[in-house]
Amino acid sequence: MSEIFGTLFVYLAYPFVRYALVVGVLIALCSSLLGVTLVLKRFSFIGDGLSHVAFGAMAIAAVLNVSNEMLLVLPITVICAVLLLRTGQNAKIKGDAAIAMISVGALAIGYLLMNLFSTSTNLSGDVCSTLFGSTSILTLTKAEVWLCAVLSVLVVAMFVFFYNKIFSVTFDESFARATGMNAGAYNLIIAVIIAVIIVLAMNLVGSLLISALIIFPALSAMRVFKSFRAVTICSATLSVVCALLGMLISVLAGTPVGSTIVAADMAAFGIFYLIGLGGTK
């Protein structure tokens, strides 16, 4: 055990490991906060759809040789998030079908563009890295770390300041509208926050595993706690712990970062499920 801790301290001396831990924790915190809202609004799969949109946008950015991909990926993802959440009620193509359509469409277009126009010598590596995160979180530059930190702080601040409104819109949007609340505006805020989280989380777990980061902590917390506040706090704590644990196991054992974090989330869900079963008896 002391050998493991010794190795861990050696690894923690590397700046990129510290950056990864900080960014990973921030992303886990942000994603879990919104995860509760998304699960309750039955939008669990929106993270998957938007992450595929982000993948498509990254492919466009790569083809256009945009130096800072975030400048293109973030606006496109935000626009798609707004479209998906706003048109859910009245659109001809309803919520789940619209998400599925945009999801696979963006994924296909992204891969097609990368195949046709990419100048990279390692196309499969680029695709794999984007889809599964690979070691992206361990290869962040200082500027990317600061960008992630600033965006994470904004997300947390928005969630904290609009907590009561998000709570109302999440549980009963019709009632919120009836009381004079501008539910559309708050749905828009939720959409923007979701898009920012998705773009950030692509570095941590890749675009295929983002949904797990959003829904597992929320679902685990819901097995044990029943109030919105308790579920949110538990979900945030659990998500941060699993992300930290996943990243530490990954650097120590040499496993892929994204899938190790998701495996930790799954194990936590199993434990909370059993605790929940015990509590109901």
Partner 1 sequence: MKKHIITATACIILLASCGGDIGSGSGANRIDVDLTRLSSTMVYSEVYNMVSTPEDYIGKVIRMDGNLNIYPSEETNKIYYACIIADATACCQQGIEFEWEGEHTPSDYPEENTLITVVGTFDSYNEDDMTYYHLRDAKMSY
Q: Which lies closer to partner 1 via its Cβ, residue 83 or residue 244? A: 244
Nearer to partner 1, 14 or 171 (CB): 14
Nearest to 82 by CA among 198, 180, 167, 162: 198
User: To the nearest whole angstrom, how small is the minimum distance from the Cβ of residue 45 to partner 1?
Assistant: 24
- Does residue 163 belong to the site contacting partner 1 (CB under 8 A)? yes
DSSP 167-220: HHHHH-HHHHHHTT--HHHHHHHHHHHHHHHHHHHHHHH-TTSHHHHHHHHHHH
Q: Does 120 bind partner 1 (CB under 8 A)?
A: no
Question: Can you tell me the distance from the alpha carbon of 89 to that of 225, in angstroms, rounded to the nearest whole number?
Answer: 30
Give how far Cα 180 sits from Cα of 39, 155, 159, 188, Å.
Answer: 25, 25, 21, 16
- Residues in the interface with partner 1 (CB under 8 A) total 47
4 binds partner 1 (CB under 8 A): no
Distance, in Å, from the CA atom of 102 to the CA atom of 83, rounded to the nearest integer, reads 10
CB closer to partner 1 out of 36 and 85 = 36
The two structure tokens encoding residue 196? 């920012």
Determine, following the binding rule CB under 8 A, whether residue 145 of this chain makes contact with partner 1. Answer: yes
Amino acid at 217: P
Q: Does 99 bind partner 1 (CB under 8 A)?
A: no
Least Å distance, CB 44 to partner 1, is 23
Residue 50 binds to partner 1 (criterion: CB under 8 A): no
Span near partner 1 by CB under 8 A; candidates 9-17, 63-71, 73-81, 185-193: 9-17
Q: Indicate the residue among 95 and 256 with the shorter CB distance to partner 1.
A: 256
Q: Which of 149, 189, 266, 271 binds partner 1 (CB under 8 A)?
A: 149
Position 252 contacts partner 1 (CB under 8 A): yes
Which one among 73, 215, 256, 268 touches partner 1, defined by CB under 8 A? 256
Q: How far is the CB of 139 from partner 1 (least distance, A)?
A: 5
Radius of gyration of the chain (CA): 19
Stretch of residues binding partner 1 (CB under 8 A), selected from 54-62, 92-100, 141-149, 177-185? 141-149
The residues near 227 (Cβ < 8 Å, ≥ 6 apart) are none
Q: How far is the CB of 26 from partner 1 (least distance, A)?
A: 6
Of all residues in the chain, what percent are helix, strand and coil, respectively (each to 5)? 85, 0, 15
Query: What is the sign, positive or negative, of the torsion defined by CA atoms of 38, 39, 42, 43?
Result: positive
Separation between Cα atoms, residue 34 and residue 13, nearest integer Å: 32
Question: Which of 53, 151, 257, 264 lies at the binding interface for partner 1 (CB under 8 A)?
Answer: 257
Give the range of 35-43, 55-63, 137-145, 219-227 binding partner 1 by CB under 8 A: 137-145
